[in-house]
Amino acid sequence: MKSNRYIMILFFIVTLLNSSCSDTFVDDIDLKFCGKCAHTGRWTVDSLDFNPCFSTQAECLDWAKKNGYSDRGCVLCN
């Protein structure tokens, strides 16, 4: 009898989470991976790697292109 109760509770929790989370919520999240450049007002390649910080977006894009990150953009870390 206890296992049926746990299954029902789990079912309600999963149903609640599925109905409350939508793709529009996920699309609104703007993830920036700034690493050591966070809160510096400088530019870095949008990647999980620890890339250097740059003063301008042009410098950042040039470095990204030369170092194998041509498919990535640069983000301003405020």
Domain that includes residue 69, residue range: 2-77
Residue 59's CB is within 10 A of a number of other CB atoms, namely 15
56/16 Cα distance (integer angstroms)? 45
Element (H, E) at 41: none
Count how many residues are written for the chain: 78
Residue scoring higher pLDDT (11 or 26)? 11
Total of domains in the chain: 1
pLDDT bucket at 59, cuts 50 / 70 / 90: very high
Q: What is the pTM of this model?
A: 0.58
60: Cβ contacts below 8 Å, ≥ 6 apart:
43, 44, 45, 54, 74
Residue 73 has pLDDT above 70, yes or no: yes
Closest by CA to 60, choosing from 78, 69, 33, 32, is 69
